[in-house]
A and B are shown apart, each in its own frame.
Chain A
Amino acid sequence: MAAAMPLALVVLLLLGPGGPALAEPPRDSLREELVITPLPSGDVAATFQFRTRWDSELQRKGDTDHYFLRYAVLPREVVCTENLTPWKKLLPCSSKAGLSVLLKADRLFHTSYHSQAVHIRPVCRNTRCTSISWELRQTLSVVFDAFITGQGKKDWSLFRMFSRTLTEPCPLASESRVYVDITNYSQDNETLEVNPPPTTTYQDVILGTRRTYAVYDLLDRAMINNSRNLNLQLKWKKPPENEAPLVPFLHAQRYVSGYGLQKGELSTLLYNTHPYRAFPVLLLDSVPWYLRLYVHTLTITSKGKENKPSYIHYQPAQDRLQPHLLEMLIQLPANSVTKVSIQFERALLKWTEYTPDPNHGFYVSPSVLSALVPSMVAAKPVDWEESPLFNTLFPVSDGSSYFVRLYTEPLLVNLPTPDFSMPYNVICLTCTVVAVCYGSFYNLLTRTFHIEEPSTGGLAKRLANLIRRARGVPPL
């Protein structure tokens, strides 16, 4: 499922009031952690998180004005090594020490899923928020594929994943930990084995289920000193069967339907697989102006019945200026598929507006789904500063639900495209020549020409005519 999610470099610059106020955070603190989650399919997901905080004299100016919240997306961009290198340079230890030694580009890009993010936000230093410190949080998630990198084997070690092992913590880090998801291990002791055996474990509710993690603290001297390096190993004692992966409660799919180059339909399927709980979802769609949406065709159906959204905000597009913005709050019934569809017409672009590769198609950015998904297990409210960083990936609001933001896949839509090869150029050129020639000819043909009579000699002519009439000769 993770691999189906879009890959977009999303930089969030949230100017809202940062998390719960803390009395006095330490200056320039660095916390880093790596979460390894072995999946039953044999794939392994690894998530790095690095959080740096520093005090700053930069002050926020007043309250956040929500009119200035910005959202932008480049659906075409995929993350590659040129994004990783500057990202690594933001880390205090760069890639010299600590967890960041594992960030080797050739391994990280040999995976089936890769996502990288940078979050910057101000955090209040006291309750009245008179002074702030800034927080830079960098996350990187990869999923190693058992088929491609594991050559079919399902056992893993840090060395096999990253071709490096951990040798020393980053000297600047105040906390440096590796968490390994051993939920299955702790349940029946038979499926999974972690080597070296964990000294401490940590339990928490993540994504609505209770999970157990083995914790390895790099700052604990004994952890590394014994063998000079730490090479975590995972072994599946009893290989899991090839079963269909667990389906998350909320997932979505988006596609373009119809054929031909005139019309089409954008359809988004929202799946709620929760057996008995309905929950609302906020759907944000930003569609480029060259797909002219017909808002009257917006239909939302769940279980064969029309589903009226409780809130709709629509901002129509302006040609070449702004895209359509459609925001809806939809209630998803329990155990249902909700289809949101809207028809569009493909606009004709001016011939200079086409991209250099117009036949590749034009991208439509992914829809963004934000939802509070009910969880199966009630979670305790946690202290954000004390709990591991990965808790903030899926923040729990009130213990009965957790927050999820999903991005659907971006779409590729073909617009009516002229054949930009030689015939098109010839047509353009000939049309110009013909237009110029025809214009001047038409001008010549329709213009009326007057021959101006010379006004001088009027008197002389009249005299001459008088004489000519007297002589009986026709006048001039």
Chain B
Amino acid sequence: MGLLSDPVRRRALARLVLRLNAPLWALPVAWLERTMRSVGLEVYTQSFSRKLPFPDETHERYMVSGTNVYGILRAPRAASTESLVFTVPCGSDSTNSQAVGLLLALAAHFRGQIYWAKDIIFLVTEHDLLGTEAWLEAYHDVNVTGMQSSPLQGRAGAIQAAVALELSSDVVTSLDVAVEGLNGQLPNLDLLNLFQTFCQKGGLLCTLQGKLQPQDWTSLDGPLQGLQTLLLMVLQQASGRPHGPHGLFLRYRVEALTLRGINSFRQYKYDLVAVGKALEGMFRKLNHLLERLHQSFFLYLLPALSRFVSIGLYMPATGFLLLVLGLKALELWMQLHEAGVGLDAGGRPGPSAPLPPAQGVGLASLVAPLLVSQAMGLALYVLPVLGQHVATQHFPVGEAEAVVLTLLAIYVAGLALPHNTHRVVSTQTPDRGWMALKLVALIYLALQLGCIALTNFSLGFLLAATMVPAATLTEPHGPRPLYAALLVLTSPAATLLGSLFLWRELQEAPLSIAEGWQLFLAALAQGVLEHYTYGALLFPLLALGLYPCWLLFWNVLFWK
């Protein structure tokens, strides 16, 4: 029994030796170039670098620089006006090297075929999504996120569709498909149907959100399982983060999805030939497309691969939730109107109520809380990243921690600050003051939620379902501690924390409180980072839109 007879030890040692030889892992660019050229592709490389706003502790990176390698298979006798993309992110510890192997094998096979009508780009990216973002920005010659990259030497026209592949081993038990993209964008449902068709044809086992497809829809189990999958998708979509490299393609109107090979303890395993066959089928179908996938299935929720919930079914739910806000606002407006009439009737009897001056007073008292809450939102958006260096100098924390802790500190400070401001403005009628403020806050919330629900339904629905009841109930009378507890529990940060617990619960990997807290902190840092690196909109939306709005309700609650 030697040291290396144990496979685990052997692998560990091999990894160690690899680490020692190459202290910084990098993509084997020269080898990839050579190999791609030898199978007959036009090969180009692109180098990029990006300094993150603060260190990314989940992926352990700060100053990122890398190289993307891509080879173009030119369609014979075509003019390079359209192309398809097959992308494989190559991780820092060669986790995805099987996928690179499959990419090269497919490239070699595709090169020998005569039927291609669209060019095919085989793209291997480094630093997962950062590399994909750099390549996409360079391909479309735009700079959205401040990425520094070398211009691309070779292009192949308008990209029609893209498929990303992630494999963890050379045998798979199932293929998981991810559709949720940046800011909750979804690819056309037809692309997913295409994948499902080839899965069925090849007898592959397909999963969605890591869940098996329910077979029996008549009993209770099937719909329940569908509901779990649906909830997972809603949470995933609401997070607004790309659920794979495909997510970044959607901004450029390239229909894309990510396939993940899962290797679980299941008995029956498929080798890469089966995966390759499914991919070949998909590419041949996409190659035959005369138009982009454009039939109007861009807005959907998926309880299973073969079933979808269409926008016509789910939108009314949000509509009714927002209607509550509207009705409540209407009620408040009527009350305000009556109060104004009653006041004026008491002071000076007359049929024509001089409403405009009364409303003017109400509006003036609103300016201060509105300004203060918006300023808090702005501070929440700007200060954490701007002030990280100051924080690290004065406190014993790292940059990433500093950002997260500043974020939380400003968030909590917001609760203490604004409800004292209205003392500055003296109003004759205290009731009218909070009513007017609540009226404005309700309309503000309804407008924001309406807009969010239109672009990212899941996020809009989650926020509406949590914020609407507390928002409508809040008033400075009645059981204040109860209202306060309800408001805090439904604040955006608490919703995020709750969503994390629900998400892990649905994945059947429940969290302890401590783990949940750690995950929450990590999620905050990731949210801020994704805003700066990919242009995700969740962080600015919460900081500049919903948090100030929520503060207004907090203000209403503590109105004196």
Contact = CB atoms under 8 A, between A and B. Distances in A.
B81 A259 contact: no
Nearest to A245: B42
Interface stretch (B70-78, B201-209, B328-336): B70-78
A217 interface: no
Given A257-B140, A409-B80, A148 B114 contact: yes
B17 interface: no
Given A259-B140, A359-B292, A411-B157, A148 B76 contact: yes
B142 A257 contact: yes
B290 to A, nearest CB: 6
A423 B296 contact: yes
A91 B74 CA distance: 32
Contact of B81 (A253, A359, A412): A412
A262 B296 CA distance: 20
A410 B158 CA distance: 11
Contacts of A419: 294, 296
Contacts of A4: 74, 80
B112 interface: yes
Given A360-B290, A360-B292, A409 B79 contact: yes
A235 interface: no
Nearest to A264: B140
Nearest to A255: B155
Contacts of B295: 421
A335 B76 CA distance: 30
A1 B157 CA distance: 16
A3 interface: yes
B141 interface: yes
Contacts of A257: 140-142
Contact of B77 (A113, A258, A359, A421): A113
A327 B111 CA distance: 38
A363 B78 CA distance: 14
**Interface size range of chain A in the complex:** 35 or more
A423 B142 CA distance: 34
A78 B76 contact: no
A148 B116 CA distance: 12
B40 interface: yes
Contacts of A421: 295-296
B38 A359 contact: no
Given A109-B77, A113-B77, A423-B296, A412 B40 contact: no
A324 interface: no
Contacts of A7: 77-79
A55 to B, nearest CB: 37
B112 A147 contact: yes
Contact of B76 (A75, A145, A242, A357): A145
B50 interface: no
Interface in B245-261: 251-253
Contacts, number: 90
Nearest to A267: B141
B155 to A, nearest CB: 5
B81 A363 contact: yes
A255 B141 contact: yes
A388 interface: no
Interface in B56-80: 74, 76-80
Contacts of A110: 114
B291 interface: yes
Tell me the interface secondary structure of chain B in the complex: loop
A256 interface: yes
A359 B158 contact: no
Interface in A88-114: 109-114
Given A242-B37, A360-B292, A361-B158, A112 B253 contact: no
Interface in B237-281: 251-253
Contact of A414 (B40, B112, B155, B253): B253
Contacts of A75: 79
B78 A78 contact: yes
A250 to B, nearest CB: 16
Contact of A258 (B76, B142, B296): B142
B82 interface: yes
A84 to B, nearest CB: 12
A148 B112 contact: yes
B78 A357 contact: no
B115 to A, nearest CB: 10
Interface centre among B79, B157, B252 (most CB of A within 10 A): B79
A40 interface: no
A109 B78 CA distance: 11
Contacts of A8: 79
Interface string A355-375: 001111101000000000000
Contacts of A363: 81
A358 B251 CA distance: 20
Contacts of A135: none
A280 B77 CA distance: 30
A359 B291 contact: yes
A114 B158 contact: no
A147 B37 contact: no
A419 B291 CA distance: 13
Nearest to B73: A147
B528 to A, nearest CB: 24
A79 interface: yes
A147 B110 CA distance: 11
A6 interface: yes
A111 B77 contact: yes
Contacts of B294: 359, 417, 419
Nearest to A149: B114
A411 B296 contact: no
Contacts of A414: 158, 253, 292
A265 interface: yes
Contacts of B81: 363, 409-412
A3 B111 CA distance: 14
Interface in A370-402: none
A253 B114 CA distance: 24
Nearest to B72: A4
Interface string B73-110: 01011111110000000000000000000000000000
A78 B253 contact: no
Interface string B135-158: 000001110000000000011011
Interface string B440-476: 0000000000000000000000000000000000000
Interface centre among A8, A112, A259 (most CB of B within 10 A): A259
B142 A78 contact: no
A228 B111 CA distance: 37
A357 B160 CA distance: 15
A358 B556 CA distance: 53
A147 B141 contact: no
Given A256-B158, A411-B157, 19 more contacts: A8-B79, A75-B79, A113-B76, A113-B77, A147-B40, A147-B111, A242-B38, A253-B154, A253-B155, A255-B155, A258-B141, A259-B140, A259-B251, A267-B141, A357-B291, A360-B291, A361-B158, A412-B158, A413-B158
Closest 4 CB pairs of A and B: A257-B141, A359-B291, A359-B294, A147-B40
8 contacts: A148-B111, A242-B38, A259-B253, A265-B141, A358-B291, A411-B157, A414-B158, A417-B294
